[in-house]
């Protein structure tokens, strides 16, 4: 039996969603929580949130992330500066891993979602390789770890707060925005809805 299993995030009831229901709105029978949106609305929101995430991620990479002041000493750093600060010697693999998990993979995932689903929103034929792009984007979800980076930043801020004066730069708030927007986007990504939209988007 084809379809997708969905758990209601409010009351934890499990549902099996057949493909024929993926293009409509469904609600939990127990609590009324909306489990899936209508196909066109959901796809439009996913693409819009992915575009927003790309813009915010560009701000994260190049704008100041954190300003630190301790006596006469002050310093400002971007996420790119922090990553590249460990790019030599024995720490290079760690630097590459951090860049991959918090910058490259999230951007790649957002880009693949836009590539695969934007033609659906614009009522254009599917892009070449759209199915493969969507499949990779879904599989990359566990590996795009922007929110894990924010947890690490929060721990570091607690430890540094007693030693220096800290000012969050625009990139910090942009990164918070990326985490929030990505979470909202993931709540809309019912796989049945996405695959049905691609299948029904005829040339």
Which pLDDT value is given to residue 113? 92
- Find out whether 150 and 79 touch, Cβ atoms under 8 Å: no
Same domain, 73 and 8: no
User: Strand pairing partners for 116?
Assistant: none
- Given this model, what pLDDT does residue 112 score? 93
Q: Across residues 117-136, what is the average pLDDT?
A: 90
Q: Cα separation of 186 and 124, whole Å?
A: 24
Read out DSSP for 1-28? ---EEEE-TTT--EEEE-GGGTTS-EE-
| 109 and 191 together in one domain | yes
Tell me the C-alpha to C-alpha distance, in Å, between residue 170 and each of 25, 48, 149.
37, 22, 16
Q: How many domains does the structure of the chain reveal? A: 2
Give the domain CATH number at 31: 2.30.30
Could you list the residue range(s) of the whole structural domain that residue 149 is in? 40-200
- Indicate if 103 and 162 belong to the same structural domain: yes
Q: Are residues 22 and 111 located together in one domain of the fold?
A: no
Q: Are residues 21 and 77 in the same domain?
A: no
Q: How confident is the model at residue 22 (pLDDT cuts 50, 70, 90)?
A: low
pLDDT at residue 163 in the model: 73
Report the alpha-carbon distance of residue 174 to residue 65 in Å, rounded: 9
Taking Cα atoms as reference points, which of 85, 65, 83 lies closest to residue 75?
Answer: 65
Of 39-48, 105-114, 134-143, 158-167, which has the strongest mean pLDDT?
A: 105-114
Residues 130, 99, single domain; the answer is yes
Residue 1 pLDDT exceeds 50: no
Q: For residues 32 and 120, state if they share a domain.
A: no
Mean pLDDT across 7-24: 72
- Domain identity same for 14 and 83: no
In the chain, DSSP finds a helix count (H) and a strand count (E) of 8, 7
Give pTM, 2 decimals.
0.71
Q: Which residues pair with 166 in a beta bridge?
A: 68
52, 27: one domain = no
Q: Given pLDDT bands bounded at 50, 70 and 90, which one contains residue 153?
A: confident
Region 18-22: mean pLDDT is 60
Q: What is the pLDDT of residues 154-203, one digit of tens each?
A: 777 777 767 767 778 888 888 888 888 888 777 766 676 777 778 777 65
Tokens encoding 41: 């609305």
Q: Are residues 32 and 44 in the same domain?
A: no
Determine contact, residues 34/53, Cβ cutoff 8 Å: no
Confidence of residue 114 (pLDDT cuts 50, 70, 90): very high
């Amino acid at each position: 039996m084809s379809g997708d299993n969905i758990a209601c995030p409010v009351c934890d009831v499990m549902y099996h969603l057949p493909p024929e229901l993926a293009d409509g709105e469904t609600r939990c029978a127990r609590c009324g929580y909306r489990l899936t949106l209508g196909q066109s609305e959901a796809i439009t929101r996913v693409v819009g949130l992915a575009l927003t995430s790309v813009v915010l991620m560009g701000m994260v990479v190049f704008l100041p992330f954190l300003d630190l002041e301790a006596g006469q000493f002050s310093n400002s750093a971007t996420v790119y500066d922090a990553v590249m600060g460990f790019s030599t010697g024995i720490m290079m693999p760690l630097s590459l891993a951090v860049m991959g998990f918090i910058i490259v993979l999230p951007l790649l995932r957002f880009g693949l979602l836009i590539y695969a689903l934007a033609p659906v929103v614009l009522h254009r034929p599917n892009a070449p390789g759209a199915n493969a792009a969507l499949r990779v984007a879904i599989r990359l979800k566990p590996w795009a770890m922007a929110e894990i980076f924010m947890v690490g930043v929060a721990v570091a801020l607690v430890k540094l707060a007693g030693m220096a004066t800290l000012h969050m730069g625009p990139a910090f708030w942009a990164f918070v925005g990326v985490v929030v927007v990505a979470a909202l986007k993931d709540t809309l990504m019912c796989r049945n809805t996405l695959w049905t939209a691609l299948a029904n988007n005829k040339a």
